[in-house]
Structure 1
């Protein structure tokens, strides 16, 4: 797992991102302003940084530019903001940011951006600010959002090829409750295996609160340890 630095002046956002990322197995370092972010970056080399744009002391784009000019932009940086403009996103990309998340940040988008960021090299400063697939000739598509400029997320995503699925047989001659329990157990075991045992992701995919999910798995007799092993 990775070491991730979260830089945001809002305590609630720092706590929320920290909880989600810790649940995914990552080590999380927190900073509430650019000064603290500089200190953490000087002491260790995080694998990825989530950096808010609007902060009281130094804004995120300025800090990103500082790291790029001093050779400290050796890790992927994902920018975050609820009020950024496309011009800001373009500037951040030119400096070296790899992605952008618009607030409020959903858990699905956060985990997707983090996974993608950890699996690719940091963007090179001065590179192409706008992916070529988002251009129409030499002009930007008028429907682009700030996030689309940074990630290309306005483009349709290819369908995932999950490969052939094993068929599950159920006893349809028994009582309805027993058949339902068999189905629910197979359903949750499938999602646990697919999400590598992550309770956070399974809760998100199945639409259940985590507390309810734990109770349900215990009631159905789902072996969480076995599910994690099967996911490896």
Structure 2
């Protein structure tokens, strides 16, 4: 997977994007201003940068222009903003940005832009890209129980589950819940973001629930590797 630098002066946005991209298997570095972004860029050479436009010291467009003029724009840069105009987006694209995401960023558009940025290639002549369905699911909604289209997966025959119906109700319920979450972790390749979406639980509650039930998260991730 890739090393992605997220540059945004809002702590909540940095943390949110970091969690989602980490769940996708990427290594995420964070910067809250242009000075920190310059330092990370020079030390780690990230594979992709998510760059906010409005920042207190140097704005994102100026930093993008600085990198471009210094020959440092060797990685794809995706601009982000909740207040930018069309002219600003056009200018950023002209300088060298590969994409522009408007806040609040939808989950699908975020992952699609990152995937396209990391896999940039010239389209084949005459090729017509297939239109992907648009799901207006904000990143915030995804982290608090939003829903995505049901993936069509062939999981093969499901394992036979048995529960102790002679014991206390709590034990039988815990056994069912553990099997339920282990099933969804396997189905979603260990992605906590997608399991949270599927089960309708907020991520913090989900982590707490899995720990309470004794679900081995490390094992779930290893089994999908």
Q: TM-score, normalised by structure 2?
A: 0.66
Match of 1:214 among 204, 207, 211: 207
CA-to-partner distance for each residue in 1:148-193, whole Å, 9 max, x for gaps? xxxxxxxxxx985534543455569x58978866654443223212
Question: Could you tell me how far 1:110 is from its partner in structure 2?
Answer: 7.3
Counting only pairs closer than 5 Å after superposition, residues 79-158 of structure 1 correspond to structure 2 as 79-105=79-105, 108-109=107-108, 112-113=111-112, 115-117=114-116, 119-121=118-120
Question: Could you tell me how far 1:51 is from its partner in structure 2?
Answer: 0.2
Is 2:21–2:28's contact at 8 Å kept on the other side of the alignment?
A: yes
Q: Which residue of 2 aligns with 1:144?
A: none
Question: Could you tell me how far 1:122 is from its partner in structure 2?
Answer: 8.1
Give the Cα–Cα distance (whole angstroms) in 1 for the partners of residues 27 and 221 of structure 2.
Answer: 20
Is 1:47–1:118's contact at 8 Å kept on the other side of the alignment?
A: no
CA-to-partner distance for each residue in 1:100-142, whole Å, 9 max, x for gaps? 3322335x3476146515641389xxxxxxx9999xxxxxxxx
Q: Which residue of 2 aligns with 1:142?
A: none
Q: Which residue of 1 aligns with 2:14?
A: 14
Tell me: CA distance 1:2–1:164, structure 2 relative to 1, closer, same or farther (3 Å): closer
Counting only pairs closer than 5 Å after superposition, residues 1-232 of structure 1 correspond to structure 2 as 1-22=1-22, 26-105=26-105, 108-109=107-108, 112-113=111-112, 115-117=114-116, 119-121=118-120, 161-163=152-154, 165-167=156-158, 169=160, 184-232=177-225
Question: Could you tell me how far 1:41 is from its partner in structure 2?
Answer: 1.8
Q: Which residue of 1 aligns with 2:143?
A: none
Identify the range of structure 1 (16-25 vs 59-68) with the bigger mean alpha-carbon deviation. 16-25
Give the Cα–Cα distance (whole angstroms) in 2 for the partners of residues 198 and 69 of structure 1.
Answer: 39
Alpha-carbon RMSD across the aligned residues, in angstroms, is 4.0
Question: Could you tell me how far 1:226 is from its partner in structure 2?
Answer: 3.0
- For structure 2, the residue ranges without an aligned partner over 5 or more in a row are 123-127, 132-148
Is 1:96–1:122's contact at 8 Å kept on the other side of the alignment?
A: no
- For structure 1, the residue ranges without an aligned partner over 5 or more in a row are 124-130, 135-157
Give the Cα–Cα distance (whole angstroms) in 1 for the partners of residues 158 and 78 of structure 2.
Answer: 40
Give the Cα–Cα distance (whole angstroms) in 2 for the partners of residues 193 and 164 of structure 1.
Answer: 9
Give the Cα–Cα distance (whole angstroms) in 1 for the partners of residues 54 and 120 of structure 2.
Answer: 25
CA-to-partner distance for each residue in 1:39-90, whole Å, 9 max, x for gaps? 3323331111110112233322232233233321111212110012333333
Give the Cα–Cα distance (whole angstroms) in 1 for the partners of residues 121 and 219 of structure 2.
Answer: 36
Give the Cα–Cα distance (whole angstroms) in 2 for the partners of residues 219 and 58 of structure 1.
Answer: 45
Q: Which residue of 1 aligns with 2:146?
A: none
Q: TM-score, normalised by structure 1?
A: 0.64
Give the Cα–Cα distance (whole angstroms) in 2 for the partners of residues 187 and 42 of structure 1.
Answer: 45
Question: Could you tell me how far 1:230 is from its partner in structure 2?
Answer: 2.1
